[in-house]
Amino acid sequence: MVDTRTQPVPKSGVESHRFAEKDLYRLAEKHGTPYYLIDEATLRRKVNEIEQAFQEFKGAFRVAYSMKANFNPSVIRIFVGEGILFDITAPSELYFLLKCGGTPENVLYTSITETLAEYDSVLKLGVRRIVVASHNGLNNLIEAAGRAEAEVEVMVRVNPEVHVKAELRGSLKHGKFGMQLDGDNQDAALPVLKKILSTPGLKFEGFHFHLGSQVEDQECYAEAIEKLEGFILRARKEIGEFGVNTIDIGGGLPVSYGRVVPTPKDLGTKIVGQLNSLMESLGVKFTLVAESGRYLSAEAMILVSRIVNVKDFGENRYVYLDAGYNVLLDAALLKHEYPVEVIPGGPSTYPKTVLVGRLCDPLDIFPTSSRSKLGGAETGKLVVFRDAGAYSIVMNMPFHSQPKPCVLMRNAHGNYLMARERQDVHALFLEEGGNLLDGKPSTD
């Protein structure tokens, strides 16, 4: 019943998952459009691909899932079942993880805000590994750890300030994330490291960096590791020997999106030798962690929408969908091009087909190129956006009073399950304040 054909993408070796057209139409009739559809087998395969890529590493290797990419509970539960770690950034993400059967032992907590309240809350729930990125953050952690009477493993998040070629850059002058390796103020890596090493109740665990998302030139990882090694050697000279149990190289593994991009294996080939030498030069065996959100989730999900109108304007054909950037925000925000396909396809008879969303906003146009297959676009047909599993449903918004679409999942047995129900317009109305139409006494 289920067609599991896969389409090889040249060189990268990445498979983009396929569903049978008749199944997509059947699901559209049953559940309406737009809808998202996740494939469990692809989620699991992605974990395995990353693990395989680092097989030559001589220490332990762990994959972590960055929940920010897709926090659908069914997705989280599958990754919990894979026994991997979780990169978590907010107490609310921890709530999701624990509800889905995850355990605090498998959490790497990497906050942006590093507040006392946040550390109080996650330590109370049993998290014991925290990544710090500022002097104030460390002080908050010390106070929270004292209150919780907890021994905490602390990692130092650095920004190696290397040039990153990526869709989203997290290094170089992006000082929002991490600490300077050679800075001389209290927020630089060295004073923070010293304080961790000298604070009872804290155990220094290792280093963390995150260079960006959709990193297409992997040289920056090698440069970052080299800079980190230099820092560790300098720090040891100044403050004496200290161990390094974990090095976390963050996320950024790129997704093909129909193009040729480096694979996890390419990254492994590039940096595993360097990491093995680093272990030798430091005289320690550390655990290597790769945190991925995009690579683990993107190819496992498609967005299915319907063509609701077509219009000729000059030589161009405008194709109107019942979906807009409210369900695929990066299309507008980053001009991100998802591989798009009209199904069933047909010949292209127009010089240009413009795929537009249903929102009353000139920005609501889906970027397409010759990689998209738009021939045969007619009212009533379905349009599939592939590789849409990362940073999509997590950014759903109700612009134009649009309820959230449903999320379906094809499980490992080929059965289709509901993973998030379509939001009812009345539920949205209430959520937006419809339950307070007649006002409610203010609490102040």
Task: Return the exposure string of 409-441: e unless at least 16 CB atoms fall within 10 Å of the residue's CB, then b.
Answer: bbeeeeebeebbebbeeeeeeeeeeeeeeeeee
Smallest separation (angstroms) from ligand PLP to the CB of 401: 30
Smallest separation (angstroms) from ligand PLP to the CB of 335: 17
Smallest separation (angstroms) from ligand PLP to the CB of 225: 16
3-class state of residue 277 by DSSP: helix
Residue 251 vs 403, nearer CB to ligand PLP: 251
Triad 128, 133, 136: Cα angle to 5°: 90
3-class state of residue 104 by DSSP: helix
Residue 66 vs 74, nearer CB to ligand PLP: 66
39 close to 413: Cβ distance less than 8 angstroms: no
Q: Tell me the C-alpha distance between 214 and 342, whole Å.
A: 26
Residue 153 vs 291, nearer CB to ligand PLP: 291
- Cβ neighbours of residue 323 under 8 Å, at least 6 residues apart? 33, 34, 303, 305, 357, 358, 405
Smallest separation (angstroms) from ligand PLP to the CB of 112: 8
Residue 210 vs 358, nearer CB to ligand PLP: 210
Q: Tell me the C-alpha distance between 339 and 179, whole Å.
A: 37
Task: Return the exposure string of 115-131: e unless at least 16 CB atoms fall within 10 Å of the residue's CB, then b.
Answer: ebebbbbbbeeebbbbb
Residue 292 vs 402, nearer CB to ligand PLP: 292
* Site for ligand PLP, rule CB under 6 A: 66, 68-69, 87, 110, 210, 213, 250-253, 291-295
Token pair recorded at residue 247 = 């090095």
Smallest separation (angstroms) from ligand PLP to the CB of 209: 9
Residue 133 vs 419, nearer CB to ligand PLP: 133
Residue number of the CB atom closest to ligand PLP: 251
Smallest separation (angstroms) from ligand PLP to the CB of 158: 12
